[in-house]
Amino acid sequence: MTITATQPATGLAVEFYDPDGTRYGFPTFPYLTAPGGLATRRQLRAAGLRPAGHDPVAQILWRRGKRVAYLYRLDLAAPKRTATPAQREAIAKALRARRTCRHCGQVKPYYIPRRYGCCLDCHGGAE
């Protein structure tokens, strides 16, 4: 699918086509009409990239202007950071603590419900 920055055909949200930013104060495009070289956060994440601290350079508006997606430059995007072994170990400990019952000390295959504070066996399973 190629996305072009040309004037969209009638029937599309033409009111959102403002590539100069005169109407919205920010370059704005209707849904599916953003120029090449720009991507949303979700598209960056799918490509293994992140905005790297850069601000968005344009936006996409749809649903009568109630929905917005900010666009970032692909050439300024950086690779996603990966967790260090110490960070991964800390996350694993935290997730294990969420599965450990305070009463019986067993590690369950599910997260302990916070409203009970104990596993379902200790709670009795009834509210």
Q: Which residues contact 99 (CB under 8 A, 6 or more apart)?
A: 107, 108, 109, 110, 111, 112
Q: Are strands 58-62 and 28-30 parallel, antiparallel or unpaired?
A: parallel
Is the model's pTM score more than 0.85?
no
11 — pLDDT class (breaks 50, 70, 90): low
**Mean pLDDT to the nearest integer, 14-29:** 80
Domain coordinates of the chain in residue numbers?
Answer: 14-79, 85-123
What are the tens digits of pLDDT across the range 73-92? 999 999 999 999 999 999 99
